[in-house]
Amino acid sequence: GQQVQQSPASLVLQEGENAELQCNFSSTATQLQWFYQSPGGSLVSLLSNPSGTKHTGRLTSTTVTKERRSSLHISSSQTTDSGTYLCAIAGAGGNYKPTFGKGTSLVVHP
């Protein structure tokens, strides 16, 4: 089945610093989403980016499909960015099964 690895497992920043999160996956993905989850909270979709580069606010995601990797860049981090960032992958056709990585836990100190 689809394997999704995220790195780093955890990250601690000072407010204002930038963050770079990585997602690697084992087989072809036709859908890739980045989610944010606060402690005890639900999953909030940040970006849908199966290929190329997409921006929204302080977030930039770059996915290189043939290399099976995606990154999420958070610029000028804020304390409210603290939480877990999850990458979810889905493959094509009959192998469609949205699968999550274990996430990156981000803590931003004031």
- Residues that bind another protein in the complex, under the rule CB under 8 A: 30-31, 33, 35, 41-45, 48, 50, 86, 88, 90, 92-93, 96-103
From its phi and psi, is residue 5 left (phi > 0), alpha (psi between -120 and 50) or beta? beta
Q: Tell the smallest beta-carbon distance from residue 17 to another protein (Å).
A: 25
Residue nearer to another protein on the CB measure, 48 or 53: 48
Q: Which residue has the tokens 């099964």?
A: 97
Q: Tell the smallest beta-carbon distance from residue 4 to another protein (Å).
A: 8
Residue nearer to another protein on the CB measure, 43 or 62: 43
- Amino acid making up residue 51: S
Q: Which residue has the tokens 């999420």?
A: 72
Q: Tell the smallest beta-carbon distance from residue 58 to another protein (Å).
A: 20
Q: Tell the smallest beta-carbon distance from residue 41 to another protein (Å).
A: 8
CB 62 within 8 A of CB 53: yes
The pair of structure tokens assigned to 35 is: 């989610």
Neighbours of 29 (CB within 10 A): 23
Residue nearer to another protein on the CB measure, 1 or 110: 1
